[in-house]
Amino acid sequence: MSLPLPIEAERLRAESQRQLGELLEVMQFLAVLQDVQGRVSYCNDALLRLTGYGREDVVGKNWFDLFVPAEERESRRGAYLAELPRGDFQPNIERELQTANGEQRLIQWNQLPLREGARVIGCARIGTDVTEIRRASQKLLHDAFHDALTGLPNRALFMDRLSHRLALEKRRQGSSFSVLFLDVDRFKVINDSLGHVRGDELLAEVGRRLQACLRAGDTVARLGGDEFTILIEDVKNKAEALKVAERVQQDLRAPFSIGGQEIFSGASIGIAHGSSGYARPEDILRDADTALYRAKAQGRGRFVEFDPSMHDRAMALLRLETDLRRALDRNELRIHYQPVVSLATGRIVGAEALVRWLHPERGLVSPIEFIPLAEETGLIIAIGGWVLTEACRQMKEWQDKVGQAELELSVNLSSQQFAQPGLVAQVADVLRETGLSPRCLRLEVTESLLMERHPHIADTLTELRAMGVRLDLDDFGTGYSSLSYLHQFPIDTLKIDKSFIARIGESEEGLEIVHTIMSLARSLDMEVVAEGVENAKQLDALRQLGCAHAQGYHLSRPVDSGKFGVLLGEGKSLTVVNG
């Protein structure tokens, strides 16, 4: 028997509501019904689980008083009451929801009006918790524009802010800004000696100090490695930017406490002053970097302002670098040899190999100009390897030709060559291929190399010495030498720097310094070679001090292989001829 139609319709409606209720309870979406005042007439379990409330705490309570953060409560209540009569609710809106323990979650709501006939009697909300999604999105966005180590803006964000500042400069005359490009002094030494973990700690602390000494509106960024940049906004004049650079350097000169050790560093800074004349932000950064290069070339720990002549110089260096990369392939490099002379006999006992570059257009390029460039670009590795091989081959040829098997060859090694693995094997291969005895090869190292404290340096020197190769400390007295370090390395010879030799005859102090160095060498059982002997007075003084060997323009300038061969063949006493 069928039920009357009104009863059947009521049953179907009740069944539909029951099914809808079950669906709302089991789904993960938040479901809420509100009346015209914002009171909650229904909520599902998902809302209760998220907020930590019981059903009795929610149903009948005003939504805005219970779930909306206090600072937004009245504005959101007013918006609800204004939208309600029209049923014109904004779809897909994200709002903060406050839980029972005060935590705020971000909910994305879909809202629909509840109607009774033509009249709006409330609102139905279906929501999704998007808190973690938004946090992940914000983190991805933050990470894309910030440095992971320091938390500072990275290159992308810095360039974006610099681009906006340049655009503002073009619209608004009378304001100004400056860009500082800085490099942490001695970072490589610190990083290599203490390890990368301590190096990272130092960079993080540098970032904190930079932030602390700048205004809130300025931007400090880490571009990578030990390079940082600073955008100084709205500076009144260039002098104000220079004061910021001074303050930065002063703050970074203070000691850092890293891993329980006190570390001293500092910064070299290049400064470019912004103007509407710049077409791109990259150009400003390039000019600040160019000024930084000049600051480092002048001895580090200083700041330099960019001027247009630096750009011309940078372009010239770029062209020179390009030419230098081709010089080896084009056989443009030459080796000149400066005689090392026995002061007892006046005869040549060896030679120092000095690389020269015969440029096809510029002629002989000064080593002062291209050796630092070779070191900066890493070309010194290939150039140094070629010099070692060619000079050893040439020395062996001279030994056989003049019958002086004891002639010695001195070759300079750069710190980069020492940093390369396999240096000992490379030297051994060259000696085997050329036939030169290891005892006839002297490798010259600098004080700064020894002071870098790389653990492998002492091992490499010991292995070379065990092979029979002699080791000379070049330009002694001009670097960072601490006498306590000398006995830690297997050094055979101290080469007294020419700056000390030049003082002989000028003052008693100059002679005393040379005498002290020679006494030190004797106490350590080391030999001495005096570099840069320019006149007979210096030569006589060195003889009286008991110096065994010397080199310098007074004895002979560096000459090409042909002229050196002639000097050897003549067998004359250079101290007599030139004395």
Residue 578 has pLDDT above 90, yes or no: no
Please measure the distance between the N-terminal and C-terminal CA atoms of the chain and give it in whole angstroms. Answer: 140
Strand partners for 472: 444, 493
Q: What is the pLDDT of residue 452?
A: 65
The residue type found at 314 is: A
- Reported as a single tens digit per residue, the pLDDT across 271-281 is 999 887 788 99
Residue 473 has pLDDT above 60, yes or no: yes
* Nearest Cα to Cα of residue 343 among 501, 476, 564: 501
Q: What is the pLDDT of residue 457?
A: 82
Confidence category of residue 56, pLDDT binned at 50, 70, 90: very high
Answer whether 417's CB lies under 8 Å from 443's CB.
no
- Reported as a single tens digit per residue, the pLDDT across 363-373 is 988 888 888 88
Domain 146-306 has CATH 3.40.50.720: no
CA distances from 543 to 355, 535, 540, 548 (A): 29, 13, 5, 7
Query: Among 154-168, 401-415, 444-458, 522-536, whose mean pLDDT is lowest?
Result: 444-458
Confidence category of residue 21, pLDDT binned at 50, 70, 90: low
Which of 79-93, 255-269, 334-348 is the most confident on average? Answer: 334-348
Answer whether 30's CB lies under 8 Å from 24's CB.
no
Angle at 222 between CA 221 and CA 227, to 5 degrees: 125
Phi and psi at 471, nearest 5°, equal -125, 125
Q: What is the pLDDT of residue 3?
A: 47
Confidence category of residue 575, pLDDT binned at 50, 70, 90: low
- Reported as a single tens digit per residue, the pLDDT across 535-564 is 999 999 999 999 999 999 999 999 999 999
Residue 1 has pLDDT above 50, yes or no: no
What strands lie across the sheet with 219-224, from one edge to the other?
219-224, 227-232, 178-184, 267-273, 303-305
DSSP code for 255: P
Residue 23 has pLDDT above 70, yes or no: no
Q: What is the pLDDT of residue 579?
A: 42
Instruction: Tell me how far apart the alpha carbons of residues 372 and 375 are, in angstroms, rounded to a whole number.
Output: 5
Q: What is the pLDDT of residue 474?
A: 87
Instruction: Tell me how far apart the alpha carbons of residues 564 and 410 are, in angstroms, rounded to a whole number.
Output: 14
Residue 342 has pLDDT above 50, yes or no: yes
Instruction: Tell me how far apart the alpha carbons of residues 579 and 563 are, in angstroms, rounded to a whole number.
Output: 20
Instruction: Tell me how far apart the alpha carbons of residues 547 and 108 are, in angstroms, rounded to a whole number.
Output: 88
Instruction: Tell me how far apart the alpha carbons of residues 513 and 476 are, in angstroms, rounded to a whole number.
Output: 12
In Å, the largest CA–CA distance within the chain is 142
* Nearest Cα to Cα of residue 288 among 275, 278, 273, 267: 273
Residue 423 has pLDDT above 50, yes or no: yes
Kindly list the domain boundaries of the chain, sorted by start residue: 5-134, 146-306, 317-574
- Residue 45 token pair: 């379990």
Confidence category of residue 24, pLDDT binned at 50, 70, 90: low
Give the containing element (helix H, strand E) for 470. Answer: strand 470-476
Residue 170 has pLDDT above 80, yes or no: no
Query: Among 205-209, 230-234, 311-315, 533-537, whose mean pLDDT is lowest?
Result: 311-315
Q: What is the CA radius of gyration of the chain?
A: 39
One DSSP character per residue, 366-385 reads PHHHHHHHHHHHTTHHHHHH
Phi and psi at 368, nearest 5°, equal -60, -25
Architecture of domain 5-134: 2-Layer Sandwich (3.30)
Q: Do domains 146-306 and 317-574 have the same CATH topology?
A: no
DSSP code for 62: B
Q: What average pLDDT score do residues 160-175 get? A: 81
Give the CATH superfamily of 317-574: EAL domain (3.20.20.450)
Residue 420 has pLDDT above 50, yes or no: yes
One DSSP character per residue, 401-427 reads HHT-TT-EEEEE--HHHHHSTTHHHHH
pLDDT above 90 as % of the chain: 52
Is the model more confident about 217 or about 575? Answer: 217
The set of long-range contacts for 103-108, using a CB threshold of 8 Å and a minimum separation of 24, is 104/69, 105/50, 105/129, 105/131, 106/130, 106/131, 106/134, 107/30
* pTM for the structure as a whole: 0.58
Q: What is the pLDDT of residue 162?
A: 93
- Reported as a single tens digit per residue, the pLDDT across 432-467 is 999 999 999 999 998 877 776 666 788 899 999 999
Confidence category of residue 235, pLDDT binned at 50, 70, 90: confident
Residue 220 has pLDDT above 90, yes or no: yes
* Nearest Cα to Cα of residue 336 among 545, 553, 148, 528: 553
Residue 300 has pLDDT above 50, yes or no: yes
Answer whether 474's CB lies under 8 Å from 499's CB.
no
At 118 the three-state DSSP class reads: coil
Instruction: Tell me how far apart the alpha carbons of residues 123 and 60 are, in angstroms, rounded to a whole number.
Output: 14
Q: What is the pLDDT of residue 85?
A: 87
CA distances from 106 to 71, 93, 109, 370 (A): 15, 10, 10, 62
* Nearest Cα to Cα of residue 113 among 92, 86, 94: 86
Give the containing element (helix H, strand E) for 336. Answer: strand 333-342
> For all residues of the chain together, what is the average pLDDT?
87
Answer whether 63's CB lies under 8 Å from 41's CB.
no
Query: Among 303-312, 341-350, 419-428, whose mean pLDDT is lowest?
Result: 303-312
Tell me whether strands 348-359 and 408-412 are parallel, antiparallel or unpaired: parallel
- Reported as a single tens digit per residue, the pLDDT across 103-158 is 999 999 999 999 888 899 999 999 999 999 888 888 888 888 899 999 999 999 99
Rounded to the nearest angstrom, the gap between the alpha carbon of residue 78 and the centroid of all alpha carbons in its chain is: 55
Burial of 472 (0-12, 13-18, 19+ CB in 10 A): buried
Instruction: Tell me how far apart the alpha carbons of residues 211 and 229 are, in angstroms, rounded to a whole number.
Output: 11
